Structure 1
């Protein structure tokens, strides 16, 4: 199944034929992972537990362990992310003003390994 192509925080993309672009395969999984990690809990009214709300950690000192735990719990609920092998999540202080996150997971639909980096 495909979804409309929408990069989180952006606009719908236009396809090669002028219609709305769709997202499939690993691009769709990445799109869903980003949406899940950046959506605030309680914002999705049909599933109130959906979303990690990583934006709430902006400026939070010493929150690396909590960020990783919240992200891990949400990735466990994402059906397009394989649970074997378990996704690996790294949270590092990128510089004094930010935290960078790396997520390595296997796409359950395509079998591809994906490395996703969220800059601080």
Structure 2
């Protein structure tokens, strides 16, 4: 049993004000977001862990670089199936942010899920 925790937030509570547990679908989503948003070197138990997308905020970065970084990180995530390969869509919103949509299959049961993420904006 794992606790529900979205990166950047507090532990979540259930209806009875106890600590909420996470469903399998949300567990994988939380792992993907944590991996992509953690800067390399910030996770002291594995300094190479993380995609560093947060470090791109305020920088000029090509959408293709972000898509490649996301794909590399998803290949390292054990919770994501390698076949079918995850699909990453990246588009420049024109206002200093990059919108991403990631479609992946859960390695445990093969269910397909989608995560949307916006990268960029003011630091």
Q: TM-score, normalised by structure 2?
A: 0.89
Instruction: Supply the RMSD in Å over aligned alpha carbons.
Output: 1.4
d(CA) in 1 for partners of 2:89 and 2:63? 9
Q: How does 1:99-118 map to 2 (within 5 A)?
A: 99-118=98-117
1:8/1:34 contact within 8 Å kept: yes
1:57/1:63 contact within 8 Å kept: no
d(CA) in 1 for partners of 2:60 and 2:39? 19
Aligned-pair distance for 1:110? 2.9
Q: How does 1:12-91 map to 2 (within 5 A)?
A: 12-91=11-90
SS at match of 1:115: strand
Runs of at least 5 residues in structure 1 that lack an aligned partner in the other structure = none
Runs of at least 5 residues in structure 2 that lack an aligned partner in the other structure = none
d(CA) in 2 for partners of 1:119 and 1:69? 16
Tell me the matched-pair count: 119
d(CA) in 2 for partners of 1:71 and 1:62? 13
SS at match of 2:25: helix
1:52/1:74 contact within 8 Å kept: yes
d(CA) in 1 for partners of 2:34 and 2:109? 19
d(CA) in 1 for partners of 2:64 and 2:118? 17
